[in-house]
Amino acid sequence: MASSIIGAKARKAAPGTARGATRSGDAPKRAFQGGVAKSGKAAGSRAAPAERRAGSGPAKPPRAPGQQAGKPAAAKAGVPVKAQATNASANVNASQSVGAKTSIAAAAPTPAEVLSPQVRLLTVDEGSEGQRLDNFLMRELKGAPKTLVYRIIRSGEVRINKGRCSADSRLASGDVVRVPPLRLAEKSDDSDVPGREFPVVYEDEHLIVVDKPAGVAVHGGSGVSFGVIEQLRRARPQAKFLELVHRLDKETSGLLMIAKKRSALNHLQDQLRERETGKRYAALVWGRWAASKKVIDVPLLKFVGHDGERWVRAVPHSHDPAAEQAKRSISLVRVTEALPQHSLLEVTIKTGRTHQIRVHLAHEGHSIVGDPKYGDFEANRALARGPMRFDRMFLHAKELRFTHPASGAELTLTAPLPASCENLLLALRKAEGGR
């Protein structure tokens, strides 16, 4: 039976419901409302969510600016369902990869931080010509959170050739960029970074695509000394240029693009901004997903809680005080396999917002299995402590479609589900009467 896999405590999620009896749309008791957990540790918990294992429990998110105190999630005690995503065949097979970078939030300086008390003047070289100002600063200001970079640009503290500028200003060779004094993470000694090659799905002289494993940051940041990109640079000292094209959450596995040339980086990031790429994910969620297909078009708002952690919440109503700050976010959901207590979904994102899939699915009442931040704490803990010992988030970037930056050829790459995810599905199918 399914409960034997999840663990005894998971059975408490559906009191009074006969085993195997499900109702369309039913979700676990500890569902989330608006992408915000109803339970878990207090927001002030010191444990960093990115470092938590799936079974250790999420921190309770603080209320976002403008967020109204909401009612408990309307999820009924019922049995969830499972759906399985088929791995679309790829032109190229995937392997495994690693890494992640995290932002740094700081109030008081710590041993890992240094204060830059002077204004810095950065001269743009030919390799950075044509780059956006925000991307240039995020590369130059190692350890600076993205929010800080945009704040100093908006405030006018950053200047190009003594003139005001915006985040999308394009740089020319010889431009002088003024940067105000900042507190940044201390740059780690390269000798402390272990060189590591990750399983390569695709590689040529312009880019690399790797299959990042769950639990590995894409780059170094707060609480993380190094990630995929730092390890790859260490393993390839002869490489003149290696930069992340996009990011994946530390808890997410799957396809990650890395540019080997500035021109490739610009071209690929332009495709992402113009939504000319296709990214598909496999996600296992708690509960029975009601519709075979669904479009989730719900704006998302990023905010930093009083504990310094970054959170995202759904803003479904225009009368919400934070509606103007929220950004439109679109996810397309298709059920690929349904089980009595779980649904395996294929999610295609049309926008690339932070935590988009995780918050959208939680907002619909079906959080991702193993999600340590927006997920079902009790069910995840029971699963992690049960026979399967499944302690990761079941979200995998399985397919990536884009135009090659040099040849113009259409590429479609795929990465199969990691063994831990496949094993969980096999066990759930057997326990819940699936195929």
Residues carrying an active site annotation? 249
Backbone angles phi, psi at 26, to 5 degrees: -65, 145
What SS3 state is found at 73?
coil
Helix spans in 364-410 (H): 377-385
Give the span between the Cα atoms of 217 and 371, in whole angstroms.
Answer: 16
Diameter of the chain measured on Cα atoms? 71
Decide: 404 and 271 in contact? Cβ < 8 Å: no
Burial 7-29 (b: 16+ CB within 10 A, else e): beebbebbeebeeeebeebbbbb
Question: What is the Cα 78 distance to its own chain's centre?
Answer: 29
Give the span between the Cα atoms of 314 and 322, in whole angstroms.
Answer: 10
Torsion on CA atoms 427, 199, 49, 32, rounded to nearest 10: -50
Give the span between the Cα atoms of 18 and 428, in whole angstroms.
Answer: 18
Give the span between the Cα atoms of 24 and 429, in whole angstroms.
Answer: 19
Give the span between the Cα atoms of 259 and 210, in whole angstroms.
Answer: 11
Decide: 80 and 28 in contact? Cβ < 8 Å: yes
Decide: 112 and 373 in contact? Cβ < 8 Å: no
